[in-house]
């Protein structure tokens, strides 16, 4: 047995024997359960294979979380899922959302660039990482699927899928109302109501709104830097004309005004202010030194029609969706007033062509349309199958991209400030067509699954440069490229008992090639498509008061699409290969009638194995102080207070280095206590999550040390079960950690996670 396989098996065994992490598991209350609780573990039904199945029988590593589970763990939105799902890392700020699962993720964001992790809401793919809204208070469940999803789901994904399902309208009256007030003058209000209009027509309405003054103070503007507002609404109309037909119309809209993605701090002093010579504010969680204006406004909405027909031999489901999203941002690229005292920031004669970017903004618009048909059936109880067609169109435009700058402009190249000018505009369009099929043959205790998807992806780009800041206009560039892929999967599952299964699977995923629009003139060719092959084995078992699952996996990952900066330009490239392997485990136990323990952990070994030309940008005092020094290094000195600091650009071999944003170990542990009190119900919950060190760049020079977060919640529900008073504390130990880090033209920018916060909430429920 190889050393690698021994390590995987040892990790899985250790996780099974000694619980290391927890999550809020989907476990609705048993019918007739008393306030004092029940020690019966409820069955969890998931749709990871496009049909409703018990989670114990699904040969996929999946974590299912109910809305009550999110609430108990202190999870306020889907962006915080990393606190309850081991192996999931989420880089997030404001409406910005970029997940990584088991080392598969991306730092790319922009027109035509989508995540390796596909996100679905009510069956519809949500592509834009800059405009994701998950604040609705009507979430019914969240499923996190680990591993490539290249067969059954709409958009091919190499890393996994996050599947969000909202509540279906009820034919019985249901009304929920929630208000909360907490730290940083945060006020929240949520309403959910549903009822029947006729015996065939029901509607539901969800409205959510919040405001916060923010927790970060700007020493330049002398005001809070990240005040935010978030409003969203969803209307669902359910029409059931007969027992064989069902239609659900969904209309939603949202508005987010949250500048947090651009409220950045220093990383070890290597921030833009160092290179532009203005006073440095050392890295701090609650203070920044940023000029203005700074804003990030996201508005969007959509219309979806889900149509379901029982055909006798099969069920036909149609998902038709149209969505639009718009992002308007305005940010200052330097920290502090610029130029200081109206003088040139660097000593000596400036290098020819030197330009300091002092700000940028860009209106971003995205339009998407998707249509999917699923035909799902069963033959004589021995064969379960699904087949489908998928079409997707996306148009994403930056028009125009504006910048303000300080540099040698004009015929005499004198230094001057230039206000916002159009630099370029670009549009990306994506077309996807796919056909897929998947079937499981049941032969006694054996279950054999085979499936595949054939996809055609067309990427189109248009780029126009303007002569506002350069002497000559960049000519219009237009290009397009087709990408073809076939992604099969195969599974063998053996039912040891009706409540325990063991499985082995081979699955594949693909991510189409993309263009780097922001630097298209210098990088005209698209990146190669990503491809991943996952070999996985797992074991799941459920008892009367406990549930356990574990899996081991090995990824063969080719042509990773990665991003960095070369000088002052973003740069995309393919890393030829990487290897990822590891294990995870989850355990839920209900004991002593009043207690529930949720534990889960994940070990992930992720390394680049063929990446000899990694583009690096390193920050150092001098050429001799940078180690290791990239090949073909170019040193660009800058003036920092008391020292000379500069950037080094070049390439390096990073084979064997840990992959970006991938903790070797992650896990959480949650303990819930429920009992009768004063005629009502007392519910106490503690949830602790931990992630080991991660790196944000290829060479590991920008890192986040391991950290843990503790959330606490205490709630009391009245005897009528209509009113609940709760107190929620998040990050109560005030741990300092990064939610995102970005290497940019002048340095390293980091976003800190929210410090300790508390909120008092009052809920009213009518059933």
Would you place residue 13 in the very low, low, confident or very high pLDDT band (cuts 50, 70, 90)? Answer: very low
Would you place residue 649 in the very low, low, confident or very high pLDDT band (cuts 50, 70, 90)? Answer: low
User: Is it the case that residue 642 has pLDDT exceeding 70?
Assistant: no
Would you place residue 569 in the very low, low, confident or very high pLDDT band (cuts 50, 70, 90)? Answer: low
pLDDT given at position 36: 42
Work out the average pLDDT over 368-391: 93
User: Is it the case that residue 6 has pLDDT exceeding 90?
Assistant: no
Q: What is the pLDDT of residues 386-415, one digit of tens each?
A: 999 999 999 988 878 887 776 666 555 566
The distance of Cα 252 from the centroid of its chain, to the nearest Å, equals 20
In whole angstroms, give the CA distance from residue 520 to residue 535. 37
Strands (E), 444-522: 446-465, 477-497, 500-511
Q: Which residue, 505, 412, 499, 402, is CA-closest to 451? A: 505
Q: Exposed e or buried b for every residue in 542-563, given b needs 16+ CB within 10 A?
A: beeeebbbbbbbbbbbbbbbbb
pLDDT given at position 430: 92
User: Is it the case that residue 692 has pLDDT exceeding 70?
Assistant: yes
Q: Residue 325 domain-assigned?
A: yes
Cα end-to-end span (Å), the chain: 58
User: Is it the case that residue 31 has pLDDT exceeding 50?
Assistant: no
Q: What is the pLDDT of residues 87-96, one digit of tens each?
A: 998 887 766 7
User: Is it the case that residue 343 has pLDDT exceeding 80?
Assistant: no
Would you place residue 108 in the very low, low, confident or very high pLDDT band (cuts 50, 70, 90)? Answer: low
Q: Residue 442 domain-assigned?
A: yes
- Structural domain including 683 reads 3-611+654-766
* 219-228, 345-354, 580-589: least confident range: 345-354
For 323, half-sphere exposure in the C-beta direction (CA atoms, 13 angstrom radius) is 31
217-218 and 287-288: which strand pairing? parallel
Q: Pick the residue with more confidence: 519 or 717?
A: 717
Work out the average pLDDT over 591-619: 89
Q: Pick the residue with more confidence: 279 or 141?
A: 141
Q: What is the pLDDT of residues 64-74, one digit of tens each?
A: 888 877 777 77
Give the highest mean pLDDT range of 30-39, 64-73, 422-431, 672-681.
672-681
* 163-177, 404-418, 592-606: least confident range: 404-418
pLDDT given at position 617: 66
CB atoms within 10 A of CB 737: 18
The answer to whether 362 touches 398, Cβ cutoff 8 Å, is yes
Share the mean pLDDT of the chain: 81
Q: Residue 245 domain-assigned?
A: yes
Cα separations in angstroms, 592 against 37, 597, 671, 724: 9, 11, 13, 24
Q: What is the pLDDT of residues 251-297, one digit of tens each?
A: 999 999 998 888 888 777 665 544 444 444 556 788 887 766 688 88
Q: Residue 646 domain-assigned?
A: no
User: Is it the case that residue 347 has pLDDT exceeding 50?
Assistant: no
pLDDT given at position 747: 63
Strands (E), 567-664: 569-591, 595-610, 614-620, 631-640, 643-652
Q: Residue 648 domain-assigned?
A: no
pLDDT given at position 336: 54
User: Is it the case that residue 525 has pLDDT exceeding 90?
Assistant: no
Token pair for 2: 């190889």
H-run or E-run covering 68: helix 67-72
pLDDT given at position 359: 74
pLDDT given at position 547: 94
What percent of the chain lies above the pLDDT cut of 70?
A: 78
**Domain CATH for 217:** 2.40.170.20
pLDDT given at position 470: 53
Tokens 């833009």 belong to residue: 272
Work out the average pLDDT over 214-224: 87
Q: Residue 634 domain-assigned?
A: no
Q: What is the pLDDT of residues 660-679, one digit of tens each?
A: 999 999 999 999 999 999 99
Q: Residue 647 domain-assigned?
A: no
The answer to whether 661 touches 89, Cβ cutoff 8 Å, is yes
If you compute the radius of gyration of the chain from its CA atoms, what whole number of angstroms results?
26
In whole angstroms, give the CA distance from residue 477 to residue 461. 8
Work out the average pLDDT over 526-541: 95
Q: What is the pLDDT of residues 38-57, one digit of tens each?
A: 566 777 777 777 778 888 88
What percent of the chain lies above the pLDDT cut of 90?
A: 48
Q: How many domains does the chain have?
A: 1
Would you place residue 379 in the very low, low, confident or very high pLDDT band (cuts 50, 70, 90)? Answer: confident
Q: Residue 713 domain-assigned?
A: yes
User: Is it the case that residue 505 has pLDDT exceeding 50?
Assistant: yes
Work out the average pLDDT over 587-603: 93
pLDDT given at position 357: 66
pLDDT given at position 220: 76
User: Is it the case that residue 22 has pLDDT exceeding 50?
Assistant: no
């Amino acid at each position: 047995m190889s050393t690698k396989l021994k390590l995987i098996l040892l990790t899985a065994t250790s996780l099974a024997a000694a619980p290391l992490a927890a999550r809020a598991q989907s476990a609705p209350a048993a019918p007739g359960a008393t306030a004092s609780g029940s020690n019966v573990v409820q069955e969890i039904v998931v749709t990871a294979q496009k049909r409703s199945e018990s989670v114990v029988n699904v040969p996929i590593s999946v974590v299912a979380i109910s809305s009550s589970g999110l609430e108990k763990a202190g999870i306020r939105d889907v962006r915080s899922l990393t606190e309850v799902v081991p192996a999931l890392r989420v880089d997030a700020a404001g409406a910005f959302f970029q997940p990584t699962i088991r080392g598969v993720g991306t730092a790319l964001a922009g027109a035509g660039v989508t995540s390796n992790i596909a996100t679905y809401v009510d069956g519809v793919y949500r592509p834009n990482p800059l405009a994701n809204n998950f604040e609705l208070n009507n979430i019914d469940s969240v499923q996190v699927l680990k591993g490539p999803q290249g067969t059954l789901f709409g958009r091919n994904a190499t890393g996994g899928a996050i599947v969000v399902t909202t509540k279906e309208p009820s034919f019985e009256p249901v009304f929920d109302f929630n208000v909360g007030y907490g730290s940083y003058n945060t006020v929240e209000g949520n309403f959910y109501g549903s009822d029947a209009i006729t015996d065939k027509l029901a509607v539901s309405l969800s409205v959510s709104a919040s405001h916060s003054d923010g927790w970060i103070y700007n020493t330049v503007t002398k005001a809070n830097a990240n005040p935010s507002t978030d409003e969203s609404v969803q209307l669902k109309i359910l029409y059931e004309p007969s027992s064989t037909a069902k239609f659900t119309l969904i209309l939603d809209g949202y508005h987010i005004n949250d500048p947090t993605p651009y409220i950045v701090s220093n990383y070890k002093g290597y921030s833009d202010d160092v290179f532009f010579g203005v006073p440095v504010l050392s890295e701090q969680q609650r203070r920044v030194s940023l000029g203005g204006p700074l804003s990030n406004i996201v508005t969007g909405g959509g219309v979806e029609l889900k149509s379901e027909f029982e055909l006798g031999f099969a069920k036909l489901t149609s998902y038709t969706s149209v969505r639009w999203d718009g992002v308007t941002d305005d940010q200052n690229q330097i920290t502090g007033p610029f130029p200081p005292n109206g003088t040139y920031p660097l000593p000596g004669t400036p290098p020819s062509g030197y330009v300091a970017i002092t700000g940028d903004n860009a209106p971003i618009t995205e339009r998407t349309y998707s249509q999917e048909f699923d035909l799902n059936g069963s033959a004589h109880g021995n064969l379960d199958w699904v087949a489908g067609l998928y079409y997707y169109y996306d148009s994403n435009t930056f028009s125009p991209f504006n910048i303000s700058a300080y540099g040698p402009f004009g015929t005499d190249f004198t230094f001057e400030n230039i206000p916002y000018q159009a630099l370029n505009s670009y549009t990306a369009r994506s077309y996807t067509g796919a056909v897929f099929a998947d079937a499981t043959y049941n032969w006694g205790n054996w279950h054999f699954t085979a499936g595949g998807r054939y996809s055609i992806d067309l990427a189109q780009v248009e780029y126009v440069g303007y002569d506002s800041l350069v002497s000559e206009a960049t000519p219009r560039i237009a290009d397009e490229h087709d990408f073809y892929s076939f992604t099969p999967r195969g599974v063998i599952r053996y039912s040891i008992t009706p409540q325990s299964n063991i499985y082995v699977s081979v699955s594949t995923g693909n991510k189409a090639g993309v263009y780097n629009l922001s630097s298209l003139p210098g990088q005209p060719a698209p990146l190669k498509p990503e491809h991943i092959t996952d070999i996985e084995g797992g074991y799941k078992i459920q008892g009367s008061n406990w549930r356990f699952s574990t899996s081991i996996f090995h990824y063969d990952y080719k042509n990773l699409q990665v991003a960095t900066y070369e000088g002052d330009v973003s740069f995309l490239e393919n890393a030829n290969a990487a290897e990822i392997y590891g294990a995870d485990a989850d355990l839920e136990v209900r004991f002593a009638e009043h207690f529930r323990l949720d534990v889960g952990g994940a070990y992930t070994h992720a390394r680049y194995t063929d990446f000899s030309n990694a583009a690096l940008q390193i920050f150092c005092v001098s050429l001799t102080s940078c180690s290791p020094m990239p090949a073909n290094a170019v040193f660009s000195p800058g003036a920092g207070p008391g020292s000379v600091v500069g950037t080094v650009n070049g390439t390096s071999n990073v084979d064997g280095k840990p992959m970006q944003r991938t903790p070797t170990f992650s896990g959480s542990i949650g303990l819930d206590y429920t009992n009768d009190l004063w005629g009502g119900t007392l519910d106490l919950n503690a949830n602790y999550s931990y992630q080991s060190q991660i790196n944000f760049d290829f060479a590991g020079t920008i890192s986040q040390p391991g950290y843990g977060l503790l959330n606490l919640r205490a709630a009391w529900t009245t005897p009528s079960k209509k009113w609940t008073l709760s107190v929620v504390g998040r990050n109560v130990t005030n741990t300092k950690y990064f939610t995102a880090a970005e290497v940019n033209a002048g340095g390293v920018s980091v976003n800190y996670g929210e410090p300790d916060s508390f909120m008092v909430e009052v809920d009213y429920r009518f059933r």
